A and B are shown apart, each in its own frame.
Chain A
Amino acid sequence: MKVEIVGGGPAGLYLAILLRKLDRGVDVRVLERNAPDATFGFGVVFSEETLGALRDADPETHLEITDTFARWDRIDIRFQGRELSSRGHSFSAIARRRLLEILQERCREVGVTLEFGVEVEELPDADLVVGADGSNSFLRRFADFGTKVRPEGSKYVWFGTDHVFDAFTFAFRETEHGLFNAHAYPYDERMSTFIVECPEAVWRAAGLDGMDEQESLAFCEQLFANELRGRELYSNRSLWLDFPKITNATWHSGNLVILGDAAHTAHFSIGSGTKLAMEDSISLAAAVARRRWDLGAAFVDYELEREPYVQRTQDAASESAAYFGRIASYSGLEPIQFAFNLITRAGRITHSTLSVRDPQFTRALDSWFGGRPVSPPPAFSPFELRGVRFENRFELVESAVAVSPEGRLSPEDDARPEGKVLLRLTHAGRRASTEPRYRGVDLPLANGWPVVAPTKRPYAPFGPPPGVPDEHAVLEAFVTAAGNARAEVLELDMAHGYLLGSYLSPLTNDEDDRLRFPLQVLEAVRVEWEGPLAVRLSVTDWHPRGNQVDDGIAIARAMREAGADLIHVEAGQTIHDDRPQYRRGFLTALSDRVRNEARVPTLVGGYLTTLDEANTIVGAGRADLVLLDLPEPRIERPLKLGESALLGEVRA
């Protein structure tokens, strides 16, 4: 049995060690294009979980690795002249060069052949060929892996520094060109990794596109002189880059298998690249052992085991990359909320998990929200909107009423619910005159009434073609309904392709000033209704020719300026065949952008099924109020006859 591994990074070397340990009868060779001591990048990060896996897989290297580790448990966030710390986050890091030394040494010990300075130009001839050759993998060319590469996040550059940080440090620095941020962490007793990042527009405005390596280093050194405490930045081919997100539909073909960055990358801002790569090696070696070198079966096991985990990590990394791309919009947040938003950016840490890691931090956040030293979590904090006080962030109950018979969805009435009511004034437009929703949605009534919209096309198949709206009558109807309304919050329905919503979208309205009529209605109702006024908005049409999120944010801003107190964030349904993206909390990211970019309070639902989600969303400033879909708790079941009889006997 002969194994050829292309790429002498952590994934390739570690796999070589594990395969030789598995079977000393196997020839394992690693081919690396660079010299043994050439390496790019400075330190790499591991989690406790990964360390456990490394210990189980090869105690010898684990011992060496942990011996030179830098360890810390704190995240420091330096923002607007303040530094906030959160504890309980176990990190470890090691110099990439040291890690490679340890792995190379161990390779020699177990009898792996290492060849450096070898440029592989064709597919090696072996029983098992491994592509551990990084994000620009050469071996990927030899089969159809369904590779996709697209840039994500901002521009970034990777430096080292001899200032030894004592925590994972996120620093933010405002300049005349825009906001820069740095990610810094120690990796041994002398050095730290120091990554500088900014959106491409900021990068160009600062002239970094025209600077050479030394100039950009000097620029960053000066910018973050405070964080570096006067120490230097070190360059190692430190050029500004775009991060390539790489995915592959499959990770094997015939006797060729790929792993690590060749198979998948995860944005550096969650520090998981090396961890994922070495976990791949462990999984693949374990599958080969389990399947006794039946490679086809081992590859399937390896993919089935790793794929869900890798995908979750890549999703979290993309969230994190996008977060740093829009970081400037959070500059209005209070430092404590800014810090909580940052810590929870990738969806992996929530209010409840953080309260276990760092109860002090969540207590500080909760008391900032509650205004008292001891306060309940953010979702239970009070909130005030135009003189109406809410006891908590989830007590609002939705209710809807059509402003006119023509605007009814179907011939049924909603009763007024109990509690703090948000009364939605709606006109269904071309979605009117349909069967009740327990049967389905947008099913036209056989004997319905005429519908109206700014477009002549029906909403759904078999729907009636809409007539022209009588805008004067519609406006009057909204104003009258507002005058008659009894509710804590009044809401104008401008979402989901209903009448006012269909005015807002280029998919359903050809006029240039698409906000004209919706704003007229808002302004007229604003005069009639003195209480809190919400606007329900489809922030994106989920369609390439419709409103995009940026358009939705601009509309939200216009609504706020015209007197809306709250934006109820929705998405899609502007047209029947849009391309929605459903999942738990699918509206949260949109609400975050509307709230922080249009600077307006938001209400958001989108299938939120836990109080923890509410605490995290409200705590991080992604929304002010939430609509929860709490499921019935399933903790109790009736005993079957036999069981209760038995219980009776025991008692007797």
Chain B
Amino acid sequence: MPGATGDLVLEWARRADAGPFSSVAVLERVVYDSYDPFTALAAAAAATSRVRLATMIAIGPLRSTALLAKQAASVHALSGGRLTLGLAVGARTEDFDAAGVEHKGRGKRLGEQLAYIRGDVDGDSVGPSRDGIEILVGGLSGQAYARMARYADGYAHNGGPPRAFANAAGRALAAWGDLGRPGKPKLWGQGYFAFGDADRGSDYLLDYYAFTGPFAEKIAAGNLTSARAVKDFVRGYEEAGCDELVLFPTVPELDELERLQEALA
């Protein structure tokens, strides 16, 4: 987000790795003041040794399939096998325009990318090895759930109150069973928080989600701005069957991480 310097991002990752957290995650947007997800995770790989490194999510079809596979495999190898690759089709045409990629057909291309990354179709000629990359797929359409169940290890939800997550989780489990996958998909959720300057956090969300029109206000209203709100949110997600919950800061300050840790203690 704007104001997140390189130092801040790396120190954030370092402290998360030293603290009680299990993953550090990034999101993706081209036309915005934000970092490229794979570059950020590569840097985080060098600053951490334990936590999983996740894209939550990266917009797959912005890249060619082989390049996406290579970037992901590189982060995976450089981090000693810690990548969780969350992919989705993205929601903004301007990102596709800026990247010079057709917006139309993005769902089909994501399907091909997943088949390529998970499958064995290039005889490992594009290394390093992709073995063991944990794949998540996000999105709320029936096709997104089917792609998830067909190729991924789990589902990446896009945020909202626990009951929205529970609803999506039910759909993900239904798709998983329908495609005959054994076991259960990993269920990842996400939320936003701001402890210090809540208004600044909400302004960031209103700005970041301005492209959604009236929904930006609802997303900003869901910003978790107290320890109690964070705790309730975590409990709600736990009860809804969430396996991994990503909490994104909305104020670029290290103190936010400390206060999150206190709230969860």
Interface residues of A, Cβ cutoff 8 Å to B: 249-250, 252-253, 296-297, 299-301, 303-304, 308, 435, 437-446, 460-462, 542, 572-573, 576-584, 586, 605-607, 629
Contact = CB atoms under 8 A, between A and B. Distances in A.
Given A580-B175, A606-B174, A441 B151 contact: yes
Contacts of A542: 142
Contacts, number: 113
Given A249-B214, A542-B142, A576 B111 contact: yes
B231 interface: no
A294 to B, nearest CB: 12
B180 A582 contact: no
A441 B146 CA distance: 10
A346 to B, nearest CB: 18
Given A308-B163, A461-B112, A582 B118 contact: no
A300 B217 contact: yes
A583 B118 contact: no
Interface residues of B, number: 42
Interface string B149-173: 1111000000000011001001111
Nearest to B107: A577
Given A252-B214, A607-B174, A443 B115 contact: yes
B218 interface: yes
Contacts of A439: 118
Contacts of B8: none
Contacts of A461: 111-112, 115-116
Most chain B CB within a 10 A radius of its CB, from A299, A435, A462: A462
Given A435-B119, A444-B119, A583 B182 contact: no
B100 interface: no
Most chain A CB within a 10 A radius of its CB, from B119, B145, B173, B177: B119
Given A441-B149, A441-B150, A441-B181, A462 B116 contact: yes
Contacts of B99: none
Contacts of A606: 174, 178
A301 B108 CA distance: 37
Contacts of A444: 119, 121
Nearest to A460: B115
B111 A577 contact: yes
Interface in B201-215: 213-215
Nearest to A585: B174
A577 B108 contact: yes
Contacts of A445: 120
B39 interface: no
A524 to B, nearest CB: 27
Interface string B171-203: 111110111111100000000000000000000
A441 B77 CA distance: 25
B187 to A, nearest CB: 13
A300 B174 contact: no
Nearest to A581: B142
A646 B170 CA distance: 38
Interface in B104-130: 107-108, 111-112, 115-116, 118-121, 123
B121 A582 contact: no
A583 B119 contact: no
Interface of B: 107-108, 111-112, 115-116, 118-121, 123, 141-143, 145-146, 149-152, 163-164, 167, 170-175, 177-183, 213-215, 217-218, 221
B120 A446 contact: yes
B121 A605 contact: no
A441 B142 contact: no
A607 B142 CA distance: 15
A462 B115 contact: yes
A582 B142 contact: yes
A581 B146 CA distance: 9
Given A462-B119, A572-B178, 6 more contacts: A300-B217, A445-B120, A446-B123, A461-B116, A542-B142, A582-B146
17 contacts: A250-B214, A301-B221, A438-B181, A438-B182, A440-B118, A441-B151, A441-B180, A460-B115, A462-B115, A572-B146, A579-B141, A580-B146, A582-B146, A582-B178, A606-B174, A606-B178, A607-B177
B179 A582 contact: no
A580 B139 CA distance: 13
Contact of A304 (B112, B118, B172, B221): B221
Contacts of A580: 142-143, 145-146, 175, 178
A443 B217 contact: no
A281 to B, nearest CB: 21
B34 to A, nearest CB: 25
A250 B174 contact: no
A605 B178 CA distance: 9
A441 B179 contact: yes
Nearest to A442: B150
A447 to B, nearest CB: 10
Contacts of A441: 149-151, 179-181
Contacts of B145: 580, 582
Nearest to B142: A580
A579 B147 CA distance: 11
Contact of B218 (A300, A435, A438, A442): A300
Given A250-B214, A461-B115, A577-B108, A440 B150 contact: yes
Nearest to B141: A579
Contacts of B221: 297, 300-301, 304
A629 B177 CA distance: 9
A578 B146 contact: yes
A439 B170 CA distance: 21
Given A440-B150, A582-B145, A296 B111 contact: no
A435 B115 CA distance: 12
Nearest to A586: B174
Nearest to A439: B118
Nearest to B124: A446
Contacts of A301: 221
B201 to A, nearest CB: 15
A437 B181 contact: yes
A435 B149 CA distance: 14
B151 A440 contact: yes
B122 to A, nearest CB: 9
Contact of A443 (B119, B163, B174, B215): B119
Nearest to A542: B142
Nearest to A606: B174
In the A-B complex, the 9 residue pairs with the smallest Cβ-Cβ separation, listed nearest first, are: A607-B174, A250-B214, A580-B142, A443-B119, A461-B115, A582-B174, A461-B112, A462-B121, A582-B171
A60 to B, nearest CB: 33
A478 B107 CA distance: 37
